[in-house]
Structure 1
Amino acid sequence: MTDLERKLYRIIYNMSRFRKNPTIDELKRKTGRDEPTIRKAVRNLITRNEIEWDKEKREWRFK
């Protein structure tokens, strides 16, 4: 897991604990990265089964 992926994982995990899903703008502000880079890192986390989006509950699941 890269540093950015680890950082995004922690941000998403911590924010989702309080029932708030981070927006892309919040992730851009907290990481200092651009949108395509963030999307690619989140996609990598999903493909490696580190995180999963539950469409019914509209929340993240963590492995």
Structure 2
Amino acid sequence: MPGNQARSPGPDGIDHPAPNTFATKRDAEIWLTRQKAEILNGDRLDPDTGKIKFGKYAGEWIEGVS
């Protein structure tokens, strides 16, 4: 029996899947509730942020402060 999948809206407006599936629908709903709370509190981190290479990030930052 497959696990329960949950999706949460990202900062790009696209629904992104949870990093894993959940054993029960209730577990998936709890994860979604926590994601919504993070968004409402302004604590939500973009999971794709860590995929940016440091050199690219640093170059853009330097251009922004010049």
TM-score range, shorter chain: 0.3 to 0.5
Larger radius of gyration: 2
TM-score w.r.t. the length of structure 1 is 0.34
TM-score w.r.t. the length of structure 2 is 0.33
Of structures 1 and 2, the one scoring higher in RCO (CA 8 A, sep 6+) is 1
